[in-house]
Structure 1
Amino acid sequence: MKELKLYLGPNHPGMHGNFSVHMYVDGDTIVRARPMPGMLHRGFEKLMERRLWMNNLALIPRICVPEPDINEMVYAMAIEELTGIEVPEKAHWIRMIILELARIANHLMSLGGIGGPVGLYTGPNWGLADRDLILDIFEEITGARIYHMYIVPGGVRKDLREETIEKIKSFLDYLENRLPEYEDLILKNSLFQRRTKDKLLLPAEVVWELGVTGIGMRSAVGEAYDIRKVDPYARYDQVEFYVPTANYSDGYTRVYFKYLETYQSIKIIRQVLEKMPQKGKVWNKISNGSALRWRVPKGQVYTHVECARGEYGYYMVSEGEDKPYRVAVRGASYPQGLLGVEKYLPGTRIEDAALWMDTMGVCPPEIDR
C-alpha cells in the first residue's frame, strides 16, 4: 500500500488548541508523525522581552488557556526573588486556592473531554458544565473568567470576601459528591476501558529520555515527583496531600490519575481555608507612580510550580532595565507534545491519535511560545 498523509489539527475537534500533527499512515496505523507547532504566531517569550514588567501580566496567562494562573505564579515568583519583595502571609494561602481551583478546572476539562474521542459525549458536557462553576468563582474573585491577572508580584490583587469563601466550600462539597458519577460514566465505561487499557503506553525509559514530568512521569516510574512536594512554594509544605504513583503508564492510568488528583486538590483547598489567616495584607504594592517605570535588579532566576501536566517553569534574566532581558518558558507538555509525538505516536491507530494527545496532556501554547 502507498503511504498516505493525514492531518490531525489545527481545525479538528480532537486536537487541543492550535497545533497540527502530520500523520503518515499505512492502513489504519500511524507509521510516521511530524508535529507542526507555529499555528499561534504569538511568540510569547519575545513579546515578554519587549514589554514592561507589569504589562506582561496581561500576556502571560495566555500561554496556557486551560490553566492560566500558573503563569502568573511563576512570573510573580521570579520577580519576587530578583527584587526581594516579601509576599504577605495571607497572600500565600490565597494563591494556593487559585492554583488548586485552576488545577481542578483543567482536570475536569480533560477528564470530561476524554469522552469526545471515544464517542461518550455526556463526558464533555459534564466536565465543561462543572468547570463553569469554577469560572463563576474566578469571576467573583478577579472580575474575569479565564485570564485573571490576579496573582501579581508582591501577593494578590485583593482579598477574598466571606461570601466567596462560602461559595468555594459549597462547590467543593458539590464536586466531591459529583466525582463518583464521573467514575461511573467514564472510568468504569467498558468502551472507554477497551480504548485506553494497555494502550497509548508511555514506557518508563521515555520519561528519562525526554524529560517528561507530571502524571506521565508519576504513572510510569513510580516516583512521586511533584514540585509541591520536592520544592514547596507558597505554603504547600504546611498542607497534607497524596501524590498517586504507578509503574505502568497506559492511557487509562493517566486519566485515572487526573480523577485521583482532583480529590487531592479538594483536600488541599479545605486545609487552606482552615489554616489561612483571617486578617492581614494580601499585597505589598509597588507605588502607583513607579509601576510602569519599574526596573527589576540585575540577575537571573529559575522558578517553577507543579501544574496539571507537570513541572512548569520560567527562566528569567534581568539586566536592570524596565523590561526582561530574556524569558524562557519550560512548558510542562513540551517533551511529550513535541519530541514524544514524533518518536512515540507511531504505532498508534488513527482513531487513537486524539486519545494519545489528550492522555499525554498536551497544551500547544506551551510548545509554540
Structure 2
Amino acid sequence: MKELKLYLGPNHPGMHGNFSVHMYVEGDIIVKARPMPGMLHRGFEKLMERRLWMNNLALIPRICVVEPDINEMVYAMSIEKLARVEVPEKAHWIRMIILELARVANHLMAFGGIGGPTGLYTGPNWAIADRDLILDIFEEITGARVYHMYIVPGGVRKDLPEGIEEKISSFLDYLEKRMEDYKSLVLENKMIIKRTKDEIVLPLEVAKELGVTGIGLRSASGKAYDIRKVDPYARYDQVEFDVPTATYSDAYTRLGIKYQEIFQSIRILRQVLDKMPKTGSVRAKISSGNALRWRVPAGQVFSHIECARGEYGYYMVSNGKEMPYRVAVRGASYPQGMLGIEKYLPGTRLDDAAIWLDTMGVCAPEIDR
C-alpha cells in the first residue's frame, strides 16, 4: 500500500491533449511514470502511406493541433524537393506569415496555460482570448480557424485577401502593448515564481542525452540553435531576428524565453509585411493532369523547420507512385514527451507534473504519430 497509481490525463485539465501519464507515487513524489499516447487519432505515418499525396493535406495538420501549419510546411517542402518544384517568391513570404502567427498562437497558449496547473486562471483566459484574434486572421486568409490546409506543394492555396495586411499589423500593435500585461500577470507573479523558479530543471547533459531541441536546448546551452538560422527556409535569411537563449533551464526560464520569442515573431512579421511582393503568383503548377493522381518522382528526402517546440522534420520516401512509400515524422516534443517523462519525471512532486508537461512543450500527437 506504500505505492499508489494515479492518472494524469487524458481528461485532466492539466494534460496537454488526449494523452495520459500513469504515475506511481509515494506520498506526493512521483517514483515511476509511464506515458500512454494513443488516446485519439494516432498512427499518422502509416495513414499517410495509405493516402494519395494531395489527400494527406487534410490529415497532417492534426499531428499538432495547437500549431498545425508546421506539418503543412514540412510536407510541402519534402514534396517540392522530390519533384523539384520552384515555389513562387510571394508564396515564401505568405508562408512565413502563417508560420509565425502559428508560433505566436502556440506560445500564447503555453505561456498563459501555465496558469492552469498553478491556479492563476486569468492567464489561460487572457491567452485563449488573444489567440482567438489570430484564429480570426487565419479564418479570413484560409477559410478555417484551426486546420487550414493552406500551405500546399508549390506554394499556398490562394492569395491573401484584400486588406489583411492592415489587420495583421493592427493585431501586432495590440499584442505588443498587451505583452506588458502578461509580464505583470505571469513573470512577475510571486506564485508563478515560487512554483517555477528552480523547478523542473533541464540540465544541458540531459537535453543532449534526450535529443531535446528548441527552447529546452537553447535555455540550457546558451546556444542560438534555431533551424530558421542554421538552415534557413522560406525567406528567413532575409529578415532580422534574435534567438533568445539562457544557460539555466528551469521552468521559469523557459517561460521567459517563450515570452521573448513572441516579440521576435512580431518583429519578423512586420518585416514580412514590409518586404513581401505585392503582386505575383502564389502557387506553382505541379501537375499537368489530375492532381489527386499525381505521381511524385522516386527518391528520399529529409526536410526540417523550427516550430515553437524545436526542430520538426519529415523523412519521406517516394517510389514514384500515387502515395508516399514511407513517411517518418520527427516530432519536436517526442524526446521530452516520451523518453523524458519515463526517465526524468520521477522525482518530481505530484502537483508539478502538469508544469513539467507545459514548460517542456509536450504536444501529444507528435509522440504516437
The TM-score, its normalising length taken from structure 2, stands at 0.99
| Paired position in structure 2 for 1:325 | 325
| Paired position in structure 1 for 2:192 | 192
**TM-superposed deviation, 1:163:** 1.0
| Paired position in structure 1 for 2:265 | 265
Instruction: Give the secondary structure class of the aligned counterpart of 2:116.
Output: coil
The within-5 A match list for 1:1-369 is 2-287=2-287, 289-369=289-369
* Distance of 2:342 and 2:284 partners within structure 1: 46
Instruction: Give the secondary structure class of the aligned counterpart of 1:116.
Output: helix
- Decide whether the 8 Å contact of 2:112 with 2:123 is kept in 1: yes
- Decide whether the 8 Å contact of 1:108 with 1:128 is kept in 2: yes
Distance 1:157 1:192, change over 3 A: same
- Decide whether the 8 Å contact of 2:140 with 2:161 is kept in 1: no
Deviation beyond 2 Å, 4+ runs, structure 1: 285-289
* Distance of 1:199 and 1:43 partners within structure 2: 33
Unaligned runs of 5+ residues in structure 2 are none
- Decide whether the 8 Å contact of 1:82 with 1:297 is kept in 2: yes
Instruction: Give me the CA root mean square deviation.
Output: 0.9
**TM-superposed deviation, 1:288:** 7.2
Instruction: Give the secondary structure class of the aligned counterpart of 1:242.
Output: coil
* Distance of 2:177 and 2:112 partners within structure 1: 16
* Distance of 1:112 and 1:210 partners within structure 2: 26
The C-alpha deviation readout for 1:63-100, integer Å capped at 9, x for no partner, is 00000000000000000000011100000000000000
- Decide whether the 8 Å contact of 1:39 with 1:368 is kept in 2: no
- Decide whether the 8 Å contact of 2:287 with 2:294 is kept in 1: no
Instruction: Give the secondary structure class of the aligned counterpart of 1:302.
Output: strand
The C-alpha deviation readout for 1:234-253, integer Å capped at 9, x for no partner, is 00001000101111000000
Instruction: Give the secondary structure class of the aligned counterpart of 1:45.
Output: helix
Instruction: Give the secondary structure class of the aligned counterpart of 2:115.
Output: coil
Q: What fraction of aligned residue pairs are identical, expressed as a percent?
A: 79
The C-alpha deviation readout for 1:349-368, integer Å capped at 9, x for no partner, is 11000000000000000001
Instruction: Give the secondary structure class of the aligned counterpart of 1:139.
Output: helix
Letter in 1 for 2:232: P
**TM-superposed deviation, 1:225:** 0.5
The C-alpha deviation readout for 1:268-325, integer Å capped at 9, x for no partner, is 0000111111111000133474201100000000000000000000000000000000
* Distance of 1:14 and 1:88 partners within structure 2: 43
* Distance of 2:38 and 2:206 partners within structure 1: 25
**TM-superposed deviation, 1:18:** 1.0
* Distance of 1:223 and 1:295 partners within structure 2: 41
* Distance of 2:152 and 2:340 partners within structure 1: 34
Instruction: Give the secondary structure class of the aligned counterpart of 1:329.
Output: strand
**TM-superposed deviation, 1:162:** 3.4
* Distance of 1:208 and 1:350 partners within structure 2: 26
- Decide whether the 8 Å contact of 1:154 with 1:284 is kept in 2: yes
**TM-superposed deviation, 1:233:** 0.2
Letter in 1 for 2:356: W
Letter in 2 for 1:40: L
- Decide whether the 8 Å contact of 1:58 with 1:149 is kept in 2: yes
Distance 1:77 1:142, change over 3 A: same
- Decide whether the 8 Å contact of 1:40 with 1:368 is kept in 2: no
Distance 1:10 1:288, change over 3 A: farther
**TM-superposed deviation, 1:41:** 4.5
Letter in 2 for 1:94: I
The TM-score, its normalising length taken from structure 1, stands at 0.99
* Distance of 1:279 and 1:117 partners within structure 2: 47
Unaligned runs of 5+ residues in structure 1 are none
